Amino acid sequence: MSIKFCSQCGSTMEQKIPEDDDHIRAVCGLCDHVHYENPKMVVGTIPVSGNKILMCRRNIEPRKGKWTLPAGYLENRESVQDGAVRETLEETRARVKLLGPYRMFNILFVDQIYLMFRAELLTNDFGPTSESTEVCLFSEDEIPWDEIAFEVIRQTLVDFFRDRGSNNGQGANNGAFPFDIKDLIFKPPKENS
């Protein structure tokens, strides 16, 4: 949703295509200030410990009560690597070491870009936080597949376990988990809530 009032002069914004532009923008009717809106970046991790991965049950909307991987919005002046480590700490209390970028998703219907890293859990000190009611290690067959919060997380997990399986479980080799960029181009009905 676009802003209603100009951040420069407080006048009402209009939706129009500025001169020499090709997108509809919020433009101030008085001072012509243009408010640019760009996709938000979400960064997160697949924290791995042995044959298990760390997941958290969301304590915040949307999809409260569903399971996810630790991920959240990148802050200004923060690298994607630092953001992924920070979000993992905030949502699971776990400290991780990044192993490499694994999946990027263009989620155009919500103007988000996801970047998920593979990561190694550095200690077994993890647990609930204000953002997660439960934090658990799951093997592939223990994952609550029917209660995954977001399609982007489900696809990341499916790809991860497929890549790990194709490497006969010898998952520490970076080359066995090739980086890929994927598109999510529609909003699945189950994410309406």
Q: Where are the alpha helices (DSSP H) in the chain?
A: 80-92, 151-166
Q: What is the token pair recorded at 21? A: 């532009």
Cα separation of 68 and 151, whole Å? 10
Under the binding rule (CB under 5 A), the answer on residue 27 touching Zn ion is no
Among 31, 60, 110, 181, binds Zn ion (CB under 5 A): 31
Mark residues 55-84: x for contact with Zn ion by CB under 5 A, - for none. ------------------------------
Of 2, 3, 5, 9, the one binding Zn ion by CB under 5 A: 9
Does 3 bind Zn ion (CB under 5 A)? Our answer is no
> If you ran DSSP here, which 8-state letter would residue 61 be given?
S
Question: Given the structure tokens 């420069």, which residue do they identify?
Answer: 8
Size of the site for Zn ion (CB under 5 A): 8
When the beta carbons of 16 and 162 are compared against Zn ion, the nearer one is 16
Whole-angstrom Cα Rg for the chain: 19
Q: Which is nearer to Zn ion, 9 or 60 (CB)?
A: 9
Q: Is 13 in the site for Zn ion (CB under 5 A)?
A: no
When asked if residue 121 is in the footprint of Zn ion (CB under 5 A), the reply is no
C-alpha 139/C-alpha 161 separation (Å) is: 10
Among 6, 26, 43, 85, binds Zn ion (CB under 5 A): 6
125 by Cβ neighbours in 10 Å (0-12 / 13-18 / 19+) ranks as exposed
CA nearest to 153, candidates 36, 67, 76: 67
Cβ nearer to Zn ion, comparing 11 with 81: 11
Query: What Cα–Cα distance (Å) separates residue 64 from each residue in 43, 134, 147?
Result: 19, 12, 11
CB of 17 to Zn ion, least distance (A): 17
Can you tell me which of 2, 3, 11, 109 binds Zn ion, judged by CB under 5 A? 11
Return residues touching Zn ion (CB under 5 A).
6, 8-9, 11, 28, 30-31, 33
